[in-house]
Amino acid sequence: MEQKNNQLDNFWRLTVSDALNLLQTEATGLSSAQADERLKQYGANTLKKAGRFNNLLLLLSQFKSPVTLLLIAAALLSAGLGDTADTLIIIGIVLISSVLGFWQEKGAAGAVNELLKIVQLHCTVLRDGTKAELEVTKVVPGDIICLSAGDIVPADCLLIESESLFVDEAAFTGETYPVEKNTGVVPASTSLAKRSNCLFMGSSIVSGIGKALVTQTGKNTEFGKISNDLLLKAPETDFEKGIRKFGYLLMEITLVLVLVIFAINVLLHKPVLDSFLFSLALAVGLTPQLLPAIITVNLSSGARRMAKQQVIVKRLSAIENFGSMNILCSDKTGTITEGKVNLKDTLDFKGESNDKVFTYAWLNARSQQGFANPIDVAICAAANRQEEAEAFSVIKEIPYDFIRKRLTVLLKTPASNLAITKGALSVIIDICNRVEVSEGVVEDIGNRKQAILDIYHQLSDSGLRTLGVAYKEVADDRAFTRDSENNMVFIGFVTLFDPPRAGMPQTIERLKNLGIKLKIITGDNAPVARNLAQQICFQSARILTGQQIRNMSNAALRHSAPLTDIFAEVEPNQKERIISVLKKAGNVVGFMGDGINDAPALHAADVGISVNSAVDVAKEAADIVLLNQDFNVLINGVIEGRKTFTNTMKYIFMATSANFGNMFSMAGASLFLPFLPLLPKQILLTNLLTDFPEMTISSDKVDDINLKTPQRWNLRFIQRFMIVFGLLSSVFDYLTFAVLIFVLHANEQVFQTGWFTESVISAVLIVLVVRTRLSFFKSLPGKYLSLVTIIILLLVLAVPLTPFAGTFGFTTLSWRYYLLMLGTVIAYILSAEVVKHWFYKRFLK
């Protein structure tokens, strides 16, 4: 077997028969039993690692924080000096925190993987001699796959058959123009870009049809050999950039705080090891350790809620961008319109109904073997001519592509060979030099061309999509190529219509109320687009055409694009340019597409959106897939995205304000107290207990005020929040210190127990205040947050009374302290309410 694998390394040098023999398969494909055996032998056709290794890496990643590793090392050093109890407590708390993070993230990842199975890619494979739709992961070496326009190539393959097959291999070669593929043999030394008889995993079929033999799967493919970062890493989202910058900010604050506090405590002749552990514990307390887990849990919870709304999230980080989106670009077919193209009429060159035009259009539509587009489906659905079809046989097809914008079929008829071309009216006119004026009577098109164009404009103004049909007799069928599409006879028009979806004006208004501006991008001409705008009450819509865009500089387009409502007559490559320009203007842009040529724009958008019925290349490029091609489904998804964003920001506000205040207070207190305000193990316990309520934040209620406008990451706003509420927290912390020292005359244990109790209770209760912009009584927390908050409050009050109190260095407190603490906490909560309303009024623009 190893020898066979070595021979297949350069499979492009093999003939088809040699490759079939080496892989012990036939042109009719593998049997199900053979395929099952090979799946066990070669493994799943995927680049992802096995689950157990992912779980191990996920668990180890919980300890990757340098502060956590330093804390464990210092605790072990403490054990070496004889303080085993403290060492076990510190390591135990770190382990509990890390395992909680692992458990949360693992559960979230598992839930998302289940959702992704809904939109898994499939391919057509010959199994047991018949065509079958299989998951791409189940493809094995020796399979025979059938490919057509819009498919993603599932593995490295050797071509067996091809018909005008053009493939996008930009990911491998950097060449953006599609390359033609043909059967044959090329030398073993041929470079990847010139292996014309091969198809590579991850490339996509632009046009034509083909049949291929799978030779390599998974990591053995060219795709698998190239760096994962180069091909698989998605661009960083705005939210991810914000989190990264936020992390840098915390690292800077933490580093300065740790060094200063450690140095001062040592200068004050406090034990060096205790001072070091105290400084590290402060760093842990300041750092929101569960932030990665909280973000993952929030996103996965959001993904599950969105799935209930028929929105499947393929990339979790895209949820945040979904909530931040303020511009949505969409094709009109199937989103703005019903997506059910209907044949209106077939007309001759004078604009009168003509049955011969219908016959030729139908022959062209039914004979094509490539991507089944809605126009051909509509034409065939309107016909009932099976007997007539039997008189024609297909000799050759030149498939539709986005350069020629036409489809030609060569048919053998009883009288002659007939080439019939159907496509965009402008390109059909350009390849015609004659026009059929009546049955069998042909004249020069020169004098008729303007009249034909006038009729075309009239039809377009009435909202009809209009194509042209042409034909010519061909003497030598073998010599017919793309270059032969000339000197044809124009026979007439095909008119089609796709009515707008019911309730579209109301949907557009809903988008507007959510702060999202809809922009329609379509290949249809400007009159058709303008008619649609009128039907959906898109008042005073500004239209920009592909020709105008072509003549614009990027600076001019950057100025015009945000002001434009409809982009008409747009070429495929212009979609990506429009998206990029809108992004550079400071917008978060979503793009909704489902076609072969939409992949670049889907990649370029902040949020790529497709539908489950889309072609593979569009579905693979998308971040989010809709199970229902309805804008209202998308709107529901946007709302869920904003809920997820809001709940994630809640955790950041809670963690940074409370942690910053508490740690700043303890750092300051350590400078004037003869003992540490809290022992390292007590700080870690405080941090762990305050994290529990925050872990439920993904299920918390979200106020309507947070759903009305796009949510954007704002590091400056977070900094201000952290400083204002951190300082407010410190004011009441120092008030607590004063009560403990000057009123209760507390010793070390009483001070630490009292400060621990007040610190946790105030941090847990302040969550209920900072979680909302509204008054606490107008926005009550979710049931899980409420339940966990009550449990933690009772636990904290009970800790000094438990047998473990002495282990942590706690003691019992007097009833006087609890009364004074109650007053302090109430004053803190009320002050926080007042400051909150001032803060949002002052800083939220």
> What is the C-alpha to C-alpha distance for residues 623 and 317, in angstroms, rounded to an integer?
9
Q: Which residues are within 8 A (CB) of 343 and not within 5 positions of it... i.e. 6 or more apart? A: 378, 379, 381, 382, 494, 495, 496
Supply the DSSP symbol for 743: I
Q: Which residues are within 8 A (CB) of 121 and not within 5 positions of it... i.e. 6 or more apart? A: 135, 136, 152, 154, 616, 619, 620
Query: Chain-centre distance of CA 598, in angstroms?
Result: 15
Query: Would you report the helix, strand and coil content of the chain in percent, each value rounded to 5?
Result: 55, 15, 30
State the angle between helix axes of 631-672 and 715-738 in degrees (0 to 180), rounded to the nearest 10: 40
Q: Are 114 and 305 in contact (CB under 8 A)?
A: no
Helix (H, G, I), strand (E, B) or coil at 219: helix
Which amino acid type is present at position 37?
E
The catalytically annotated residue of 86, 151, 331, 700 is 331
- Give the dihedral of Cα atoms 553, 559, 560, 561; nearest 10 deg: 90
CA dihedral (267, 273, 278, 284) positive or negative: positive
Q: How many CB atoms sit inside 10 A of residue 13's CB?
A: 18
Burial string for 643-657 (b: 16+ CB within 10 Å, else e) reads bbbbbbbbbbbbbbb
> What is the C-alpha to C-alpha distance for residues 215 and 326, in angstroms, rounded to an integer?
45
> What is the C-alpha to C-alpha distance for residues 398 and 479, in angstroms, rounded to an integer?
12
- Residue 737's Cβ-count burial label (10 Å; 0-12, 13-18, 19+) is buried
> What is the C-alpha to C-alpha distance for residues 71 and 286, in angstroms, rounded to an integer?
14
End-to-end CA distance of the chain, in Å?
68
> What is the C-alpha to C-alpha distance for residues 203 and 156, in angstroms, rounded to an integer?
10
Q: Are 284 and 684 in contact (CB under 8 A)?
A: yes
Q: Are 400 and 406 in contact (CB under 8 A)?
A: yes
Q: Are 190 and 172 in contact (CB under 8 A)?
A: no
User: Is 630 designated active site?
Assistant: no
Q: Are 41 and 220 in contact (CB under 8 A)?
A: no
In angstroms, what CA-CA distances link 688 with 284, 308, 373, 793?
Answer: 10, 33, 57, 13
Radius of gyration of the chain (CA): 34
Burial string for 790-829 (b: 16+ CB within 10 Å, else e) reads eebbeebeebbeeeebeebbbbebeeebeebbeebbeebb
Q: Mind telling me the catalytic residues?
A: 331
